[in-house]
Structure 1
Amino acid sequence: MREFGVALATATKALAMLRQEGVVTAVPRVGTVVAGSPTGASAPAPVVPRRARPGEPAVDRDGIVQAAIRIADAEGLAALSMRRVAADIGIPTMSLYRYVPSKEDLLLRMVDAVFAEDPLPEPAPHWRTSLEDLAHLQWAICHRHPWVARQVSITRPMAVPNGMAHTEASLRALDGLGLDKATMVHAAVTIAGHVVGTALHLEQEVEAEQDTGLSNEEWYEAQDLTLGRLLASGRFPMLASLDEIPDFDLNLDIVFELGLRLLLDGLAAMIGAERALQRDHDQLG
């Protein structure tokens, strides 16, 4: 875009066509690279549809789910389709439906599979440590699979046993602290919502790099003139003052950790207040 002065839409369309032809490939957290280049050496090879042979290759549902996860990890959910998964494992598209009835069912199984990759942390002696361990595990899952954050719904939870186990563990950590059941559920969902809400930006960052071919640093450089003009206007003195911080970078890991600490500090204060109230009630009784 910078070198040839083309529009963003034009560059995005060109990159999409090159990916379809197998000339370039998308590498998570790197960007779009020439297929087979040293930078892209560890990237999945371009998918080439193969003609199904007599007897077809050995296929099972777990293999299909893992193939779909690899596609989503490398190129995002926009690249995921039943046709694409079938091509990746070398079977006709219609044969895929014998194992998974729909794309929605496939997505459910993908989410369940990524939550099963790591065992749940052992319950810690203190409730706060248990919740911190769970949140850190969920953050790690979202780092490995940025697409998963978009699939996790707070108001319409998915029927995925391995994901439900995380909620169950959160409620166990909160049990017996003096909170009523409804507050326990809302507290557990609030913490999970912080993880997912922050992780959505991970997915957006990966998609932006793939669509534009620009890293975050390169994007900021491309916006430098516009942002500099706005900051120099005097309307945003606090934002302009960030230039005084050496090597400042808005880090999502720091945003996650700070938000988690603030939430748990607030929850600790609530638990302390409930316990004090219960003690006063018991003394009056």
Structure 2
Amino acid sequence: MTKPTRTGAEPPYLRIAADIRRRITDGELSPGDRVPSTRQVAREWKVALATATKALTTLRLEGLVEARPRAGTVVAPKVPSRSRRRPSAAPAEQELTLDRIVRTAIDIDIADAEGLTALSMRGIAARLGVAPMSAYRHVTGKDDLILLMADAAFGEESFPSDPPGGWRPRLELGARTLWSLHRRHPWLAQLSSLTRPLLVPGLIAHGEWSLSALDGHGLAPTELFDIHVLLFSHVQGLAIHLEREAQAAATSGQSEEQWMVSRAQAMQDLVESRRFPTFAKVVGSFDNGYDLHLDTLFELGLKALLDGLAPVIEGRPPHNSRDGSPSRARLP
């Protein structure tokens, strides 16, 4: 990025915005081209992330750029003319709410575009046009904010009040709903491990759906919960790679396809070494290489899991109490 000459007392974020604006209006950056990320701006201009965020927010409010999931900030399809008026000032600080802070943090310009590493309280405050301490009046810090973000993100999808019949359609709907949320918000898979789960209502609602689908089939409580955790681990285990690929692309500057091309000779050496004959036979049989599709793997794995679990779930009749209702597990 070519930095303009620093003149006067103009704030740094306005100088940065002016330079990117010039590149757009002069045609150096075309509609759809990716503009520098907040981290790139911060590094090249030697400014804080909050300042970089404020510069890109200025351009977004002007309609010059827009955010796209997994692509970051790009030049808007229709660039406004030079005479377009600047937007009015950001809403007053007294209008700041916890919901606005959480939704801004989730916004595709920040967590959804660049992952949780790009998230900061100062950056969010800059986006909202308020002083950093104003945000701290609503949330104590980044860790608490992430929990609120997760709760809101998992709560974006709900389940029908009239569930489909049968345990399998209900589990399929639950797993696919979770997968769609992780696809929409890839950072969700990075938040916790199976051994230290997120205890937020938005996620527990998805657990309630799966557990209720399995309840009443004669499963012991531990067995029932193990199946629930296994299905969730299938979603989370694949979703982790959504964020890792995005991080790898940002770090290396190479797309997945470009990375594979750069490793073509190493792959060929492995195939020709004859040390791994089955690997060589399978890989050598691909006409145009192997395309890994996470959606395909998700569906394949879900089917395999449910096929394998069917005898366990259906193998025993439900244990009913005398009044006909499912029996409850005894608490110690």
TM-score by length of 2: 0.68
* 1:201 partnered with 2:267: no
Q: How does 1:1-285 map to 2 (within 5 A)?
A: 18-20=40-42, 21=45, 28-30=69-71, 36=75, 56=93, 58-70=95-107, 71-121=110-160, 122-240=162-280, 241-247=282-288, 248-275=290-317
Q: Distance in 2 between matches of 1:212 and 1:234?
A: 31
Contact 1:127 1:174 in 2 (8 A): yes
Q: Which amino acid aligns with 1:190?
A: L
**Greater shift after overlay, 119-128 or 200-209?**
119-128
Cα pair distance change 1:157/1:275, threshold 3 Å: same
Q: Distance in 2 between matches of 1:239 and 1:110?
A: 43
Q: Distance in 2 between matches of 1:115 and 1:206?
A: 21
Higher helix share: 1
Q: Larger radius of gyration, structure 1 or 2?
A: 2
Cα pair distance change 1:232/1:29, threshold 3 Å: farther
Cα pair distance change 1:272/1:36, threshold 3 Å: closer
**Greater shift after overlay, 53-62 or 248-257?**
53-62
How far 1:76 sits from its partner (Å)? Answer: 0.8
Q: Distance in 2 between matches of 1:73 and 1:159?
A: 21
Q: Which 5+ residue runs of structure 1 have no aligned equivalent?
A: 1-13, 42-51, 279-285
Cα deviation digits, residues 133-164 of structure 1 (max 9, x gap): 00000000011111001114322222211110
Structure showing greater relative contact order (alpha-carbon pairs closer than 8 Å, 6 or more residues apart): 1
Q: Which amino acid aligns with 2:296?
A: I
Q: Which 5+ residue runs of structure 2 have no aligned equivalent?
A: 1-35, 46-51, 57-64, 80-88, 321-332
Contact 1:57 1:90 in 2 (8 A): no
Q: Which amino acid aligns with 2:306?
A: L
Cα deviation digits, residues 103-126 of structure 1 (max 9, x gap): 111011101111111222452111
Contact 2:70 2:113 in 1 (8 A): no
Query: Over aligned residues, Cα RMSD in angstroms?
Result: 3.0
Cα pair distance change 1:194/1:175, threshold 3 Å: same
Q: Distance in 1 between matches of 2:284 and 2:38?
A: 36
Contact 2:249 2:255 in 1 (8 A): yes
Contact 1:139 1:199 in 2 (8 A): yes
How far 1:27 sits from its partner (Å)? Answer: 5.5
Contact 1:115 1:163 in 2 (8 A): yes
> Which residue number corresponds to residue 11 of structure 1?
none
**Greater shift after overlay, 108-117 or 17-26?**
17-26
